Structure 1
């Protein structure tokens, strides 16, 4: 990506102060690139203002009329559609919406059309790296949309990312994220099952994590979640219920294409649904280790 900076500093707002959005906003603030924030639950916005000194927008209308760039971090398709429709009446021509959420390709197309009617722009820019990546400014971003628009906001995006990949037309960011989420599901299945097996055969699983991390089986997930799951620590980095939602989107894509099923996705959806039904939907996806242990103990 051509990291070309605009001569005029844009006023940037962050919409959605969950674990991801808050990390993004904090990094923008640290680089003096944040103008305002908005959150549906006003208490989070007030707390952010107290900690940072950044004025929060009390309404979506205020956010829309204030900002040149709005970065959204929202979890569901219906929510992003509702937000876009609420922003529209007060958006300035030329406003750029950068959606970091993981949503459906059809939702991207709808949002793009709505914004185009107001002479505004959409970049579908889902991210990978979890809450740690957001907090540390080390997210990986996959972008679909107009490359010139992307280049015009590169200085903003670099504040909270370690890499930005331009993937082509609108919707391609979400397609790339779908591939990422399928891979993440497979890795989660492999790591949790392997470590549950290691405990079953009485190996020192903590030592095993160190050994395997340096070899061909080593990966980010094993390194960052292996020991915590062995300790029964499933503090959310990426929630089970959110990965479940993302994998449902993957299934929808393949079904609309009339192609065969995705076995890893289908298996993981079943396992995640069990965890959700058991009350573990808010936990990190490494909570799948619970299920693997139970399976091997029976």
Structure 2
């Protein structure tokens, strides 16, 4: 995701420097784009008035913020595009505010394709003034950009999105397993239903994975499981368990145990397809599916 977003910033003439914990990755992107690749986050912060971050976990966000803040100039803005807990976003905002630096939680949706094409949906929390200042930066990476309120609001909106993704991928995988069991031509089914009322981005872009039984990482199972854990905790504060979240977390735990944690979430089709295996075996004259 981060590489695609950085390339879009470069295309818009906004990329000044890049940094990655894996130095070789940063150097490769710097070589491609012609920008600098400082060896430390402090060096990067000293070069930029706006810093865009995209990492995997809550602890990573706070670690990056702590590394940036001594070198950031007052009035700078950090835009974090990671998906983390709303409380983590608020903590990061508080730490930077003590240095007169603004923080926007700006998680994204749209997959690696959206990052590559600059068509991400970006959900933003933080001050409206800071949001307006960095709108051109966000516009370079996304097509739909919405300010939802104070710090943490962007993450709450993203959590809502992740719950929807869980329900949609469950439905797509279950429907495709059913269609396979019924002996339907799956490619033709995708072409037809992709234009119907039940279609979705996941159906059009990820059902083909299920046909090929190949699940190259787009949105990894491990990462969606992490996000749904955040959703679980947020719902628990309301005294609620969300059935789709709980079921998907259970399925993801099984997939991770089976070694599929780094595959795309469309690999959940494996579990749905397996439900039909006993009946298929029973119908087979040889007793095999």
Aligned to 1:270: 250
Show the counterpart of 2:265: 285
- 1:138 is aligned to 119
What SS does the corresponding residue of 1:74 show, helix, strand or coil? coil
- 1:100-179 to 2 correspondence within 5 Å? 100-179=81-160
Give me the TM-score of the superposition, normalised by structure 2: 0.94
Deviation at 1:227, TM superposition (A): 1.5
Q: CA deviation at 1:111?
A: 0.5
Please give the alpha-carbon distance, in whole angstroms, between the structure 2 residues aligned to 1:21 and 1:177.
Answer: 17
Q: Work out the number of aligned pairs and report it.
A: 278
Q: Does 1:232 align with 2:213?
A: yes
In structure 2, C-alpha distance between the alignment counterparts of 1:88 and 1:152, rounded to whole Å: 19
Q: Distance in 2 between matches of 1:279 and 1:92?
A: 45
Q: What whole-Å deviation, never above 9, does each CA across 1:237-263 have from its counterpart, x for those lacking one? A: 111110000000000101123x22000
**Other-structure match for 2:37:** 56
1:206 CA displacement: 1.4
Provide the C-alpha distance between the structure 2 equivalents of 1:99 and 1:61, rounded to a whole number of angstroms: 16
SS of corresponding position for 1:230: helix
The alpha-carbon deviation at position 61 of structure 1 amounts to 1.1
The structural deviation recorded for 1:24 is 0.6
Tell me what 1:41 maps to. Answer: 22
Question: Which runs of 5 or more residues in structure 2 are unaligned?
Answer: 279-289
Residues in 1 aligned to 2:119 and 2:98: alpha-carbon distance in whole angstroms: 34
How much is the aligned-residue C-alpha RMSD, in angstroms?
0.9
- 1:262-294 Cα distance to aligned partner (Å, 9 max, x none): 000000001011111111111111011111111
Deviation at 1:74, TM superposition (A): 0.4
The secondary structure found in structure 2 opposite 1:70 is strand
1:95 maps to 2:76: yes
**TM-score, with length taken from structure 1:** 0.92
Q: Secondary structure at the match of 2:276?
A: helix
Q: Is the partner of 1:216 in helix, strand or coil?
A: coil
Instruction: Write the distance in 1 (CA, Å) between the matches of 2:72 and 2:249.
Output: 38
Question: Any stretches of 5+ residues in structure 1 without a counterpart?
Answer: 1-19
Note the C-alpha offset of 1:26. Answer: 0.4
CA contact (8 A) 2:108 2:158 kept: yes
Residue 261 (1) aligns with residue 271 (2): no
Secondary structure at 1:293's aligned position in 2?
A: helix
Cα distance, 1:214 vs structure 2: 1.3
Contact 2:176 2:210 in 1 (8 A): no
